[in-house]
């Protein structure tokens, strides 16, 4: 009976959404270009009004989850220029701050954060592109401050977990359908409406972009969400969570991005290692066997498709790998040749730097980006800040938060995360809130602990 009630609840949400999406597709496909332009302005105005009303009047406990949903559904490529610096998710988080009581967390986390801020400003002073550096600093700190000065309640954390769970299942299913049909049905129509370059396919095989506009951020989110769903399944082992994990794993593979698969694999290996040392080893072994079975079924089913295999074995994929390998010595040489320790400025595109750096075109590694932009000193503070965030999550011993952060820290090493997809700051902020420890606002009941006894 409970399963039937849940099905009716979610069906009441998703069925109307699908119907509305199909109506939008039919309307847009039958309109002329001039009519589409007028409709676009009308949609933007209406969406802005609705968004303001929702954010103001929705109960505050839903706002972190709403920020996560905005990150998923509103890619920067489809946003007006005004929302490409301060994205809607960041605005929602600041409304949450205003409506909640400020409660500062770990002194170490805040110390490393403000140290990073200080060195970022210093780096911007030496930047070869001060406008890009200023934009990066504003986006980075405006997105992360809310997660550091307000601690979520138990209910808000549980709502975030449910949002990750639903998003993983929905996007996994959507990605599979897009992969099979080779068409992004809903966002393809929105591309026509907003006149953006959303989901432009220029690869040898079709790579689903889901709602993100590019397969790499799609795979990045799926890696994080799948790691969290894996943690939930390992704790509960319900049939519904197992189905969501299967869908999420399939959605992780179909964008054909090795970085996302690597990041999830890293988180999964850590989960296995920790689970084997728990006091409930016999129970964990059974769960791990079930997890391995689910992973093998999903990965074999999706990876067996010839398009995916041909993508991983193509010269295109090989050249991308070579590009990443040659990035390391070029970046390290550039840093070593600087006459000051503040880098070339955060957020500066490498094409404006000249020489071998310009020849790279892009730096597909967040950590190398940080070294280049902030210099050694600034990067040390930034990495220490990230490490302190993980240590805080580790102390909380919530498996979902730990694995989510591990997957995130791993996947940003595989693409130009913070420079190439600005709204990913919102995902980082939400992950910080989701993984906050018990002494920072969450009531500890032992559920989901890494080393729970009994």
15/160 same-domain check:
no
Predicted local confidence at residue 447, as pLDDT:
43
Q: How many residues does the chain have?
A: 454
Tokens of 313: 């074995």
In a domain, 169, yes or no: yes
> Which pTM value belongs to this model?
0.80
CB neighbour burial string for 334-368, b if at least 16 within 10 angstroms, e if fewer: bbeeeeebbbbbbbbbbeebeeebeebebbbbbbb
pLDDT category at 383 given cuts 50, 70, 90 is: very high
99/131 same-domain check:
yes
| Mean pLDDT within 427-433 | 93
Kindly report, residue by residue over 306-355, the tens digit of the pLDDT. 555 555 555 555 555 656 666 667 777 766 667 667 777 887 766 555 55
Dist. CA 215–CA 204, nearest whole Å? 13
In a domain, 452, yes or no: no
Predicted local confidence at residue 400, as pLDDT:
87
Q: Which domain holds residue 387?
A: 34-440
Chain centre distance of CA 413:
13
164/217 same-domain check:
yes
Tokens of 12: 């009441």
In a domain, 99, yes or no: yes
In a domain, 450, yes or no: no
Give yes or no for residue 45 having a pLDDT over 70.
Answer: no
52/22 same-domain check:
no
| Mean pLDDT within 396-421 | 85
Dist. CA 187–CA 199, nearest whole Å? 8
| Mean pLDDT within 413-428 | 82
Give yes or no for residue 406 having a pLDDT over 70.
Answer: yes
Residues in Cβ contact with 29 at an 8 Å cutoff, skipping those fewer than 6 apart: 189, 192
pLDDT category at 440 given cuts 50, 70, 90 is: very low
Tokens of 341: 């320790």
26/51 same-domain check:
no
What domain count does the chain have?
Answer: 2
| Mean pLDDT within 8-25 | 50
Kindly report, residue by residue over 113-146, the tens digit of the pLDDT. 888 888 888 888 888 778 888 888 888 889 999 9
Q: What percent of the chain has pLDDT over 90?
A: 16
55/10 same-domain check:
no
Kindly report, residue by residue over 88-103, the tens digit of the pLDDT. 889 899 989 988 877 7
Kindly report, residue by residue over 169-196, the tens digit of the pLDDT. 999 999 999 888 888 888 777 766 665 5
6/66 same-domain check:
no
pLDDT category at 398 given cuts 50, 70, 90 is: confident
**429 near 93, Cβ under 8 Å?**
yes
11/159 same-domain check:
no
Give yes or no for residue 423 having a pLDDT over 50.
Answer: yes
Determine what percent of the chain falls in helix, strand and coil, rounding each to the nearest 5: 75, 0, 25
Predicted local confidence at residue 47, as pLDDT:
63
Selection from 431, 410, 402 nearest residue 234 by Cα: 402
14/67 same-domain check:
no
Predicted local confidence at residue 25, as pLDDT:
46
67: helix, strand or coil: helix
Selection from 359, 254, 260 nearest residue 309 by Cα: 254
79/92 same-domain check:
yes
In a domain, 447, yes or no: no
In a domain, 319, yes or no: yes
125/26 same-domain check:
no
Selection from 269, 229, 222, 277 nearest residue 427 by Cα: 222
pLDDT category at 220 given cuts 50, 70, 90 is: very high
275/362 same-domain check:
yes
**pLDDT, averaged across the chain:** 75
443: helix, strand or coil: coil
Instruction: Tell which wins on pLDDT, 69 or 45.
Output: 69
Rounded to 5 degrees, φ, ψ at 290 are -65, -40
In a domain, 91, yes or no: yes
Predicted local confidence at residue 285, as pLDDT:
58
In a domain, 307, yes or no: yes
Question: Which secondary structure element, helix H or strand E, spans residue 65, and what is its range?
Answer: helix 63-73
């Amino acid at each position: 009976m409970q399963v039937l009630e849940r099905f009716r609840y979610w069906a009441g949400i998703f069925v109307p959404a699908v119907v509305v999406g199909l109506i939008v597709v039919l309307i847009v496909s039958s309109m002329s270009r001039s009519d589409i332009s007028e409709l676009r302005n009308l949609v933007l105005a209406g969406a802005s009004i609705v968004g303001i009303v929702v954010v103001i009047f929705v109960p505050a406990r839903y706002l972190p989850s709403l920020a996560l949903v905005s990150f998923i559904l509103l890619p920067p490529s489809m946003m007006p220029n005004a929302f490409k610096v301060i994205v809607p998710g960041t605005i929602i988080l600041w409304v949450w701050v205003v409506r909640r009581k400020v409660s500062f967390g770990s002194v170490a986390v805040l110390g490393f954060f403000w140290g990073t801020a200080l060195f970022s400003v210093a780096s911007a002073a030496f930047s070869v592109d001060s406008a890009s550096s200023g934009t990066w600093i504003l986006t980075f700190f405006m997105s992360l401050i809310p997660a550091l000065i307000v601690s979520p309640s138990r209910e808000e954390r549980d709502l975030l977990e449910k949002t990750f769970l639903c998003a993983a299942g929905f996007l996994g299913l959507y990605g599979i359908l897009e992969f099979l049909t080779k068409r992004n049905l809903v966002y393809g129509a929105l591309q026509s409406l907003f006149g953006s370059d959303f989901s432009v396919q220029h690869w040898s095989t079709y790579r689903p972009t889901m709602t993100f506009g590019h397969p790499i951020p799609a795979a990045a989110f799926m890696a994080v969400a799948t790691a969290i769903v894996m943690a939930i399944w390992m704790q509960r082992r319900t049939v519904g969570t197992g189905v969501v994990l299967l869908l999420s794993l399939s959605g992780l593979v179909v964008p054909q991005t090795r970085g996302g698969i690597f990041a999830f694999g890293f988180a999964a290996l850590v989960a296995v290692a920790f689970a084997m040392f728990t006091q409930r080893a016999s129970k964990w072994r059974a769960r791990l066997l079930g997890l391995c079975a689910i992973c093998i079924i999903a990965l074999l089913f999706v990876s067996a498709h010839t398009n995916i295999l041909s993508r991983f074995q193509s010269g295109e994929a090989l050249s991308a790998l070579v590009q990443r390998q040659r990035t390391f010595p070029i970046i390290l040489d550039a840093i070593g040749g600087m006459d000051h320790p503040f880098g070339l400025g955060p957020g500066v595109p490498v094409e404006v730097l000249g020489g071998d750096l310009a020849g790279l075109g892009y730096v597909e590694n967040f950590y190398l980006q940080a070294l280049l932009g902030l210099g050694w000193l600034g990067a040390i503070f930034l990495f220490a800040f990230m490490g302190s965030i993980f240590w805080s999550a580790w102390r909380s011993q919530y498996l979902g938060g730990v694995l989510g952060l591990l997957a995130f820290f791993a996947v940003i090493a595989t693409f130009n995360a913070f420079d190439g997809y600005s709204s990913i700051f919102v995902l980082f902020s939400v992950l910080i809130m989701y993984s906050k420890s018990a002494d920072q606002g969450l009531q500890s009941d032992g559920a989901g602990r890494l080393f729970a006894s009994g």
